[in-house]
Structure 1
Amino acid sequence: MSYVIGIDLGTSAVKVLLVDKNGTVAGEASRSYPLFHEHTGWSEQRADDWVEGTVEALRELTSAAGIDAGKIEGISFSGQMHGLVLLDGDGNPIRNAILWNDTRTTGQCRDIEQKLGDKLLSITRNPALEGFTLPKILWVRENEPEAFAKAKLFLLPKDYLRYRLTGELHMDYSDAAGTLLLDVAGKAWSGEVLEAFELPASFCPPLVESHGLVGNLLPEFIESTGLPATTKVFAGGADNACGAIGSGILSEGLTLCSIGTSGVILSYENDKSKDFAGKVHFFNHGKEDSFYVMGVTLAAGYSLSWFKKTFAPNESFDQLLEGVGGVKPGAGGLLFTPYLVGERTPHPDSVIRASFIGIDGSHERIHFARAVMEGITFSLNESVDMFRKAGKKVDTIISIGGGAQNPVWLQMQADIFDAKVVSLANEQGPGLGAAMLAAYGSEWFESLEACADKFVKHAESYSPNPEAVAAYAGIFNVYQQVYEQTKSLNEALAPYRG
């Protein structure tokens, strides 16, 4: 049996998956690495920690019992988006990588908006947010001029890892779309943006498709990983793009709902001219000449984790949610907005905070638990609502993450989204998407869709209940008013936060 490997370079750990031609995961290994928070709002990692962790995980995978490493044909990558790795003329990092969740660049974001104006959205299709890469580049130039003077080129995290393994410099379109330097529709580095910030074209690596063959392993890594010299290396994609591939989001009408610590609603898009006015992210897909739109809820699963930690620290999630299915939609008139750490879509607001609205003496803990689940789903539905208003079809939603572990929550999603919701039998996330890019690149399949037919396996399906859909439509209308009604109150309370 032949194999491919998907390498998922996450924020806290790298995970490697060994997948056979049937889409079965034959092995997996992972390694964690540290995060550095030198100052409030800073988040950095040592780029070579990614390399060392990946090599160790690959060695564990290839040396496992029953695995014939000689049958591994290709590897590809999924990576945390937006992180900045600056290389000197010798190809070495000049400082630690600045990660996607680093928030030091607010001033640079305002500078980008002022300098580019309307061109920002027309070219990059996304607003200037602290997590993106260009603001980080400008921050280093302004605050660490001696270090920046050494910088000759920038990479994103997975691209640095792949560069170290192969010696080849590339970046795929799906990851490049999160830099604010790419002409997303034109699939090229934007000369206008580069010129506006006095960055040379040579500062950007060559662009390549996610399934593109970019080389082979360097001799030193053939030995240290245990992979055969014939292993083909493919570019890979951004974690969200690979998560979409690994969930089969490869055609119009298919949408992904992922509830982890944060929450993501991601929908396939094949019209590069579709305009969402920057209200949702618009990125290149890992599927060639395709795109996806995406909304983000900052505190999705985190809201439920907070609720459990605060009100039921000694109970399991199953115990906490026992009986939640017996509470009718609307939680007895109790509404929760999941703004515990601010919000992203459709309100990019770091000051707004969460609310429970409508508490009365009849409410018990189970009502609060249901309201938290509903509030998280309402927040995600803000993105679904914007997609539909822009003319997108959203009729089937693949649900993954914590929200897919509870049947009551899956039915709730179907009712609030008013769409069929499907869970997966083999949920592996971005790592599986990376493996699928390697399988497609290795010509196992004629298309990513054919690969998904084999690799992505559906489990349970949930259809919307018309009565619940009607009830939730009314409650969602109320939910959408809470942000504006509480915005000024939260701004007034902000100085009193610890």
Structure 2
Amino acid sequence: MENVVLGIDLGTSSVKIIAANKQGHIIDQSSVPLTLIQPYPGYNEQDPEDWVIAVKEGIKILINRETMNDKQISGLSFSGQMHGLVPLDHAYQPIRNAILWNDTRTSKQCEEIKSKFGNTLLKNPILEGFTLPKLLWLKQNEPKHWRQLKVFLLPKDYVRYKLTGNISMEYSDAAGTLLLNPNTNDWDRAVGNQLGLGDIYPPLVQSHSYVGHITEDIKKELNLTGDIAVFAGGADNACGALGSGVIDEGQTLCSIGTSGVILSCTQSNEDDYGYNIHFFKHAMPNMSYAMGVTLSAGHSLNWLKETFFKQKSFDEILNLATKSAIGANGLLFAPYLQGERTPHGDAYIRGSFIGINSNTSEEDFSRATIEGITYSLYESIVYMRARGRQIDEIISIGGGAKNSFWLQMQADIFNAKVTALKYEEGPSMGAAMLAAYGLGWFESMEDCTDTFIEIGTSYKPNLDNHKLYNQYFEIYRKIYKQTKEITQNLLNIN
């Protein structure tokens, strides 16, 4: 009977759990859906207890199948949705629903923070999604709740607390709060003091740190008979990078899910990148990463499908795109369906198609949408390269890595070799690797990566295609400036 570790990925729409053995092979997996609470426009919340219930249910699904049993589970760790505020009272109970990463209620608080610190804070842009503006919103808008506040956690840290009884937060997730100092690896209490936050900070630990065992009460509830060690885990993007083998200086990840990410590893605490590029701690020890975010990457393709191609599969839409030419016959798409993060940091900009004519076809709309998503990601690469990052090879994961046409397009637009993984499990794999390393199965995280990650097909850039794409890209970059005022005027009518 082989030992396994569980990698638990706490997402926004579901909890996904994988069970992996010492060879990095997936024995089984489960998924439990989550519900979003949206009381007002721009508000996105979840009940923290729903996460705990879903994690317990996911574990029960696995141990009740014939593929494995609970005695095989040696340890577990987490990947978690970033930035979400989970405020706890003195009994360590949630005071209110968690305010999530995609909640945009904090524009006023962001402006207040900028008035004190400028446009960046602790090497990061000041954006609605981060945790610090949410804390300030809670203080200003729910004073009764604020007076009850003892400590704040992030989503996966709350679930981990409920399984172990121990309060902590690890560095890769803490980096997304706007309160972690990347130079000291500690909370920047001076920032919090200027905003009147008080002493509300949890202890900090490494991503692979042992933080306890599953409590006897939880074991009894789930009918677990073995002792299961729990390790801290990491932020979803950090675990996505780890679970893709992107752990060394200069290695770069392109992840296309609902949102899109360009992430490039670095060991140095460099100057601010600007242009709303984030600078966070990796789940890999002694490593950080620069990251650009496209808010509506796969979401744009899903919008296209649901709006115009309901009867077609994503593969059929991508096949349509192959029948159009580079530049989609003069059609450009700006994927600002929900605002944009990098480089503009604008929650109010909206998307657009530019260049529609009487000959524009459904093939052109399909290709323009995919090109627009990829141009948006390329913009992050351009700014990182301008700051001295050498980005020649990129690991691609997510929806954009499941199609050879799109992978070649990434290579051509990015002007870099783009490689897919043979088997892709994303953040849940990174979480499993943290547990495997924490248990001492491997002497180093590099050894763990060599065992768990298998590289697939690579795509080399076509220089002629890159030059042609680049002409369209330079026009694409003008769309934001040209449509910003128009968008604002439209929003003001409503």
TM range (shorter): over 0.9
In the other structure, the counterpart of 1:384 is: 381
Residue pairs, 1:470-485, within 5 angstroms: 470-485=467-482
Residue pairs, 1:266-277, within 5 angstroms: 266-277=263-274
In the other structure, the counterpart of 1:28 is: 29
- Cα separation, 1, equivalents of 2:272 and 2:37: 37
Deviation for aligned residue 1:381: 0.2
Deviation for aligned residue 1:3: 0.7
Structure 2: stretches of 5+ with no match in the other structure = none
- Cα separation, 1, equivalents of 2:450 and 2:365: 40
In the other structure, the counterpart of 1:208 is: 205
Structure 1: stretches of 5+ with no match in the other structure = none
Structure 2 residue 118 is matched with structure 1 residue 117: yes
Task: Note the alpha carbon deviations across 1:6-57, whole angstroms, 9 max, x for none.
Answer: 1111112211110011111101112223221112211111111111111121
In the other structure, the counterpart of 1:149 is: 147
Deviation for aligned residue 1:228: 4.4
**Could you say what secondary structure the match of 2:125 adopts?**
coil
In the other structure, the counterpart of 1:176 is: 174
Task: Note the alpha carbon deviations across 1:162-196, whole angstroms, 9 max, x for none.
Answer: 01111111100000011111112321000211211
Matched-pair contact (CA < 8 Å) for 2:124–2:272: no
Task: Note the alpha carbon deviations across 1:247-271, whole angstroms, 9 max, x for none.
Answer: 1110123211111121111111111
Matched-pair contact (CA < 8 Å) for 1:410–1:462: yes
- Cα separation, 1, equivalents of 2:383 and 2:345: 15
**Could you say what secondary structure the match of 1:95 adopts?**
coil
- Cα separation, 2, equivalents of 1:94 and 1:249: 37
Distance 1:117 1:364, change over 3 A: closer
Matched-pair contact (CA < 8 Å) for 1:62–1:225: no
Structure 2 residue 60 is matched with structure 1 residue 59: yes
Matched-pair contact (CA < 8 Å) for 2:28–2:67: no
Percent identity between the aligned chains?
51
Single out whichever of 313-322 and 44-53 deviates more from structure 2.
313-322
Q: What one-letter code is carried by the residue in structure 1 that aligns with 2:405?
A: V
- Cα separation, 1, equivalents of 2:14 and 2:319: 32
Structure 2 residue 366 is matched with structure 1 residue 365: no
- Cα separation, 2, equivalents of 1:325 and 1:247: 28
Deviation for aligned residue 1:207: 0.3
**Could you say what secondary structure the match of 1:435 adopts?**
helix
Deviation for aligned residue 1:490: 1.9
Matched-pair contact (CA < 8 Å) for 1:249–1:268: yes
**Could you say what secondary structure the match of 2:152 adopts?**
strand
Single out whichever of 382-391 and 34-43 deviates more from structure 2.
34-43
In the other structure, the counterpart of 1:304 is: 301
**Could you say what secondary structure the match of 2:219 adopts?**
helix
Matched-pair contact (CA < 8 Å) for 2:233–2:434: yes
In the other structure, the counterpart of 1:72 is: 73
Single out whichever of 347-356 and 387-396 deviates more from structure 2.
347-356
**Could you say what secondary structure the match of 2:124 adopts?**
coil
Distance 1:66 1:405, change over 3 A: closer
Task: Note the alpha carbon deviations across 1:190-221, whole angstroms, 9 max, x for none.
Answer: 021121122233x1010000001111111011
Matched-pair contact (CA < 8 Å) for 1:58–1:226: no
**Could you say what secondary structure the match of 2:91 adopts?**
coil
Matched-pair contact (CA < 8 Å) for 1:116–1:196: no
Structure 2 residue 99 is matched with structure 1 residue 98: yes
- Cα separation, 2, equivalents of 1:88 and 1:289: 33
Deviation for aligned residue 1:367: 1.4
- Cα separation, 2, equivalents of 1:238 and 1:289: 15
2:133 to 132, 135, 151: 135
Task: Note the alpha carbon deviations across 1:420-441, whole angstroms, 9 max, x for none.
Answer: 1111121111111000000111
In the other structure, the counterpart of 1:237 is: 234
Matched-pair contact (CA < 8 Å) for 1:217–1:229: no
**Could you say what secondary structure the match of 2:258 adopts?**
coil
Deviation for aligned residue 1:370: 0.8
Structure 2 residue 13 is matched with structure 1 residue 16: no
Structure 2 residue 398 is matched with structure 1 residue 430: no
Counting matched residue pairs gives: 493
**Could you say what secondary structure the match of 1:177 adopts?**
helix
Give me the CA root mean square deviation: 1.6
Residue pairs, 1:176-195, within 5 angstroms: 176-195=174-193
